[in-house]
Amino acid sequence: MRTHRTKWYSKLYLGLIVAFLQLPIIIMMINSFNSSRAMGAWTWEGFTLDWYRELISNDKILSSLGTTLLLALAAAVISTIIGTIAAIGLSGMKKRISGIILNVSYIPMLNAEIVMGISLMLLFAIIGIDRGFLTLLIGHITFCIPYVILSVMPKIRQFDHSKYEAALDLGATPKMAIVRIFIPDILPGIISGFLMAFTLSMDDFIISFFTTGNGVKTLPIEIYTMMTKRGISPEVNALSTIVYIIVFIIMLGINVLPSIRQRADIKKKLKSERKQVS
């Protein structure tokens, strides 16, 4: 339904919404350069890069960042493997059975996170597992799996079965056909499932809050601790500013590059058509 030329008031409205959404982030960035620690009253006490310098030597923040990344990577890898293999298996099963399994696997996504968090906490307490990195990982994998399945499943359903048959036809064994044709075909779904799992895990607070212990802290947990105690230290603002700018550049690249590539493709096509004509 793309036709209209956008009216000025529409643009103004979009601008206001974007400003509303970006406002706290801009404040955060400003604070990261403010020499005031901005604890009590907020004042601007001049520009500084101190917080960025101190960030490098702040073990607490850096180690929680390390934990967060390691956890996100592990949770994303494991949930992608379990979710993808299961999705492939489910696609070949009877609808009724696979429907039940799918519904159960979507529970962590549909249910309130706080309930999922405390249910896992209860489990770990009762069977006597000390809460720590392992329990965190289990919690994260549990809520990542449905997102992986959700992004892989449509790709499997879209897969043109005759491509698999074509591979068999050309002498590939079923195993080879799966590895060389089927998996590459559904790869975009697997990758987007992986990325989704990774970002969800990185950002998660609620499940982590109830499944961690023994001083294992992810960055969101660390931020929460600071927030409830003395207020967020400016180094966190500095770190978040860096993350935000990196993500911004990457996103801009993703959004702008395709149109550049598209233009190049069109040129290539035109050229070859000219060749064919002559």
Partner 1 sequence: MELKRKPADDTRIKVGKKSGSVMTLPLIIWLVCFVLVPLLLIGWYGITVENPDGSMSVSFENFKRFADPIYLNPLLRSAKIATITTVVCIALGYPVAYILARSTAKWTNIVMMLILMPMWINFMLRIYSWASLLEGNGIINSLLVSLGFEKQQFMYTEGVVVLGTIYNFLPFMIMPIQNVLLKLDNSLLEAAADLGASPVRRFFKITLPYSVPGIISGVAMVFVPSVTTFVISQRLGGNKVPLIGNIIESQFGMAGDWNFGSTVSLIVMAIVLAFMFAINKTDRAEVNGRGLTL
Partner 2 sequence: MGEHIIELVNIFKQFNDAHADRPVLNNINLYINRNEFLTLLGPSGCGKTTTLRIVGGFETPTRGDVFYLGKRINDVPSYKRNINTVFQRYALFPNMTVEQNIAFGPTIKKWDKSDISKQVQQMLELVNLVGYGKRTIDTLSGGQQQRVAVARALINKPDVLLLDEPLGALDLKLRKEMQYELKRIQVESGITFLYVTHDQEEALTMSDTIAVMNEGVIQQIGTPEAIYNEPTNAFVADFIGESNIMRAVMIKDYLVRFLGCEFPCIDAGFGNGREVDIVLRPEDIELTEPREGRPVGEIASSLFKGVHYEMRVVCGDELILSHSTRYFEPGTKVSIDVLPENIQVMEISTSSDTIIGAKRAQLQNLYRENAGGDD
Can residue 123 be called a binding residue for partner 1 (CB under 8 A)? yes
Can residue 171 be called a binding residue for partner 1 (CB under 8 A)? no
Query: Which partner in partner 2, partner 1, none is near 237 (CB below 5 to 8 A by kind)?
Result: partner 1
Residue 228: strand, helix, or coil: helix
**What backbone phi and psi angles, to 5 degrees, belong to 77?**
-65, -50
Find the shortest distance in angstroms from Cβ 165 to partner 2.
5
Query: Which partner in partner 2, partner 1, none is near 247 (CB below 5 to 8 A by kind)?
Result: partner 1
Contact 134, 211 (CB under 8 A): no
Among 61, 182, 235, 238, binds partner 1 (CB under 8 A): 182
- Joined tokens for residue 278: 């002559």
- Joined tokens for residue 106: 């979507």
Binding site for partner 2 (CB under 8 A): 160, 162-163, 165-174, 176, 181, 184-185, 187, 265, 268-269, 272, 275
Nearest CA to 191 among 150, 247, 151?
151
- Report how far residue 8's alpha carbon sits from residue 278's, in angstroms, rounded to the nearest whole number: 48
The CA-based dihedral angle spanning residues 99, 118, 72, 202, taken in that order and rounded to the nearest 10 degrees: 110
DSSP 4: P
Among 64, 142, 201, 233, binds partner 1 (CB under 8 A): 142
Find the shortest distance in angstroms from Cβ 176 to partner 2.
7
- Report how far residue 111's alpha carbon sits from residue 153's, in angstroms, rounded to the nearest whole number: 21
Nearest CA to 159 among 177, 145, 133, 140?
177
* Interactions with partner 1, residue window 61-120 (CB under 8 A): 82-83, 85-86, 88-93, 98, 101, 104-116, 118-120
Query: Residue 104 corresponds to which amino acid?
Result: V
- Report how far residue 207's alpha carbon sits from residue 72's, in angstroms, rounded to the nearest whole number: 13
Can residue 32 be called a binding residue for partner 1 (CB under 8 A)? no
One symbol per residue from 212 to 251: x for binding partner 1 (CB under 8 A), - otherwise; what is it?
A: -------xx--xx--xx---x---xx--x--xx--xx--x
Nearest CA to 149 among 189, 198, 99?
189
Can residue 178 be called a binding residue for partner 1 (CB under 8 A)? yes
Nearest to partner 1 of 173, 272 (CB atom)? 173
Nearest to partner 1 of 73, 82 (CB atom)? 82
One symbol per residue from 184 to 203: x for binding partner 1 (CB under 8 A), - otherwise; what is it?
A: --------xx-xx--xx--x
